[in-house]
Structure 1
Amino acid sequence: MGNRVALIGIIVDGDSCDESIHKLNEILHDAREYIIGRMGVPYREKGISMISVALDAPNDVISSVSGKIGMLKGVTAKAIYSNK
């Protein structure tokens, strides 16, 4: 099966422990060959950070990355896929 283009939306609670943030960066580093780009936006008024990660990867890689990120304490992740 070929690659798919997807966007993973990530919200990090400002109270998240350093361990979760470190693990998040490790997961993204491990997927670096598939990452097209990423953008982070701190929303200080709400005490959260929002990160979007664009990927071109096999479906199982996208699911794995999104799932691993979503399991981190204080972190939420959802993937959306292109029809192409």
Structure 2
Amino acid sequence: MTETISKKRLGVIAIVIKDRNESYTAVNDILHLYGKIVVGRMGIPYKDRNLSIMAIIVDGTTDEIGAMTGKLGRVRDVEVKSMLTDKDDQGDD
């Protein structure tokens, strides 16, 4: 029996919330649910266009990150793109 070890990946998730009034709470609820893999976040409200743009730095397995981005992508009026590093270095020098 072989055991698969999931390696952690570092990445950035870009989120565009097209309707701040309708979708912002749902996005924040999902980010809270996956808070253990969120390293940092920056959100910019673009009031003139009724948008919010967020950049989320994550450090987790591809399964964890994929589950989070999948849930975010199913929120109405939300677009999500992610970029993960190929490097799986977890700080062991």
TM-score normalized by the length of structure 2: 0.80
Identity of aligned residues (%): 29
Cα-to-partner distance string for 1:10-67 (whole Å, 9 max, x where unaligned): 00013651xx322211110011111110000112232211001100001011111111
Partner of 2:11: 6
Which contiguous aligned blocks of 4+ residues in structure 1 show a shift greater than 3 angstroms? Answer: none
**Structure 1 residue 55 corresponds to structure 2 residue 49:** no
The size of the alignment, in residue pairs, is 82
More strand by share: 1
Q: 1:79 aligns with which of 44, 66, 82?
A: 82
Tell whether the 8 Å contact from 1:8 to 1:54 is kept in structure 2 after alignment: yes
Tell whether the 8 Å contact from 2:58 to 2:65 is kept in structure 1 after alignment: yes
CA RMSD of aligned residues (A): 1.3
Larger radius of gyration: 2
C-alpha displacement of 1:74: 0.8
Structure 1 gap ranges (5+): none
